[in-house]
Structure 1
């Protein structure tokens, strides 16, 4: 990606503030899911973080960040406590407009400043990606709010069998990771991997194929689940993807109402469910390095429709070094977060690269993630 185009940062700011449009004051403040913050918080947070990295870290200006740190720094502001402390939308829009003007002036000054964070356009790329990732999260907030639609529409969809066609990838060497200035620390350093031969499905698992899993007893048959996944399924009483609603006849699938819904990649499932489906299909999830190798080889179709669960827990690459702070990746190398690759229909261009690594707990089902199958 190129060095900072100020117009793109301005576009991302504007898109973030526009996420408030069309929502009622209650919806703007609502915590629509336990893992999602209110829309008002996300909008304030992205403006705050641009200001933190640019005004405070580069120019030493804490006039804004000092006043709002307790609300907009995630580590010191619990999700379930944010709603009551947020300003209303009018005040937030005015604050965002003032910050945009201030930060644009700082970006202009940054052209003449020698600072490690500004080298080669790094900070601009970092800020763009932060906006991009939160824009996707804000779209997930809107998707959760839409689940409360009063009249679900039944869809006609026939169950389908799992994929039987796989593309074989021969043993070879492949460079893994990202070597451009926009790379996050967990994508570096680039290293050479030597995947053993494997086969991977060209297409993601579809809604119709997931319906086949359901109708085959997928959520009742213990043999397809590992022990932690089965314990979670029973405790959470999960019987279908998060946004599916069973009706007297058929299913309502919020947000996926289309003529070819059955052929769209399934999402609304967590890693445990993806693993269970793979066993049902007599296959497995692709390993993360296999997924990237297949992506770089050009054999994957319908990429960037859903995030795709991989088999691996999130881990550091050989020679990993945290940057620009310890907290972006390091806390999540805990064996309890699993990799999702690709991108989704909600993703911005800034994260649509082969080496980008997403990661979530195995129970997260609201993140627009699905799967494709692999075999040894």
Structure 2
């Protein structure tokens, strides 16, 4: 009996694993937890579970003209921003969707999963496999958002409950001293080479010019950022971009979002705990990262500097797979440390297209390209990012005021 290609078998197995993991992340959350929407930028966990399922229904199963959706009204509820496939429910009002129920959403997932798995079992189709792979990486983005959004929602609760039990770090180890490592200079190539999966915004591979520069060997720590806070960093307008200073004044920022006002404790996915001075500082906006770098007599790296340094490095570190969901100190190692995991690293680069960029054809072209305005690039992944979702060319992006993501910084310098 002829067998399907290895690639088709692999995508079927991966589909079951990734889809199952989303449910695992929600397994001990109540229906009430998964209904919460704590701010317009966040979404309820139930909506994440439904939207990622809608993605497969719309773009995989919907390729068949004979397919009929599970419920046509849900197309409106669970479309995120794909204007070319129809209207959608307002993002700030997703928390109002008490119906469909969580049980109905779980049943929706089972039904769509069964149909997609059956399709993968019957068809050895490169286009189908590519669409499913895109859907799985989309799902992994939402797995990270599930964690960041529930963290914000629990922080808003006066009880400040824990999402998970703490995993204690090794005590007594000292963080690696900060030093700068010279980066490459001259003409280099960045962007995806073409082997394996990549989003369209990572292409095409192209040449760019690097000026003499250096990157810090590790991420900025809580202790280093605390010195910035204590020395009045949030009260000194000369350190901030104009829009950043206006945001600080308007929002009343005095420290990172999850730090308590005592500057000794912070809210984590394991609840409130003492700030570890050696852990990487986390949940910073671009404005905060840029102001700290200026205060430190440094700057943020460009995304080209970061990617040039990361090329060839293995993707390992404190990622979601480790289960900590909290940045960890860099206590050992030579060279560039923490390039993957712990916290996303803000760069000095606006999120714009690469030379020769072409979005995906059709509605999927809305995935990345239309957001190339008013956003800044982050690199490297975080403690909430699945390991097999990352690569050196991965370009994350958020608006400069965003703080609820696991984002920190690495310093750079001109040489």
Same fold (TM over 0.5): yes
User: Which of 141, 159, 170 is residue 149 of structure 2 equivalent to?
Assistant: 141
Distance 1:184-1:231 versus aligned 2 partners, 3 A rule? same
Distance 1:93-1:343 versus aligned 2 partners, 3 A rule? same
Task: Decide whether the 8 Å contact of 1:189 with 1:320 is kept in 2.
Answer: yes
Task: Decide whether the 8 Å contact of 1:54 with 1:106 is kept in 2.
Answer: no
Distance 1:28-1:152 versus aligned 2 partners, 3 A rule? closer
Q: Counterpart of 2:118?
A: 105
Q: Counterpart of 1:284?
A: 299
State how far apart, in whole Å, the 1-side matches of 2:375 and 2:394 are: 15
User: Which of 55, 66, 75 is residue 69 of structure 1 equivalent to?
Assistant: 75
State how far apart, in whole Å, the 1-side matches of 2:145 and 2:71 are: 22
* Alignment pair present for 1:312 and 2:344: no
Which residues in structure 2 correspond to 1:149-188 (within 5 Å)? 150=159, 165-178=179-192, 179-188=194-203
1:32-78 CA-to-partner distances (Å, cap 9, x unmatched) read 23211111100011111112111002565242373421011013121
Q: What's the secondary structure of 1:122's corresponding residue?
A: helix
Q: Counterpart of 1:41?
A: 47
Distance 1:81-1:368 versus aligned 2 partners, 3 A rule? same
Deviation at 1:14, TM superposition (A): 1.5
Q: Counterpart of 1:264?
A: 279
Deviation at 1:362, TM superposition (A): 0.3
Q: Counterpart of 2:172?
A: none
Task: Decide whether the 8 Å contact of 1:52 with 1:65 is kept in 2.
Answer: no
Deviation at 1:164, TM superposition (A): 5.4
Q: What's the secondary structure of 1:246's corresponding residue?
A: coil
Normalised TM-score (structure 2): 0.81
1:117-147 CA-to-partner distances (Å, cap 9, x unmatched) read 33xx422321110111110100112212332
1:324-366 CA-to-partner distances (Å, cap 9, x unmatched) read 43311222111x1000011011111333100000000000000
Q: What's the secondary structure of 2:306's corresponding residue?
A: helix
Distance 1:253-1:151 versus aligned 2 partners, 3 A rule? closer
Aligned-pair Cα RMSD in Å: 2.6
* Alignment pair present for 1:246 and 2:261: yes
Q: What's the secondary structure of 1:175's corresponding residue?
A: strand
Task: Decide whether the 8 Å contact of 1:308 with 1:342 is kept in 2.
Answer: yes
State how far apart, in whole Å, the 1-side matches of 2:235 and 2:57 are: 50
Aligned length: 363
* Alignment pair present for 1:233 and 2:248: yes
State how far apart, in whole Å, the 2-side matches of 1:43 and 1:286 are: 35
Task: Decide whether the 8 Å contact of 1:205 with 1:265 is kept in 2.
Answer: yes
1:277-313 CA-to-partner distances (Å, cap 9, x unmatched) read 0000000000110111111265431121110000011
User: Which of 365, 370, 380 is residue 331 of structure 1 equivalent to?
Assistant: 370
Q: Counterpart of 1:301?
A: 337
Normalised TM-score (structure 1): 0.89
Deviation at 1:19, TM superposition (A): 3.4
State how far apart, in whole Å, the 2-side matches of 1:150 and 1:225 are: 34
1:2-39 CA-to-partner distances (Å, cap 9, x unmatched) read 66521221122112223332223322111023211111
Greater displacement, 34-43 / 56-65: 56-65
* Alignment pair present for 1:84 and 2:121: no
Greater displacement, 123-132 / 24-33: 24-33
Distance 1:203-1:226 versus aligned 2 partners, 3 A rule? same
Unaligned runs of 5+ in 2: 1-6, 82-87, 163-176, 314-334
Unaligned runs of 5+ in 1: 154-162
Q: Counterpart of 2:319?
A: none
Distance 1:229-1:87 versus aligned 2 partners, 3 A rule? same
Q: What's the secondary structure of 1:245's corresponding residue?
A: coil
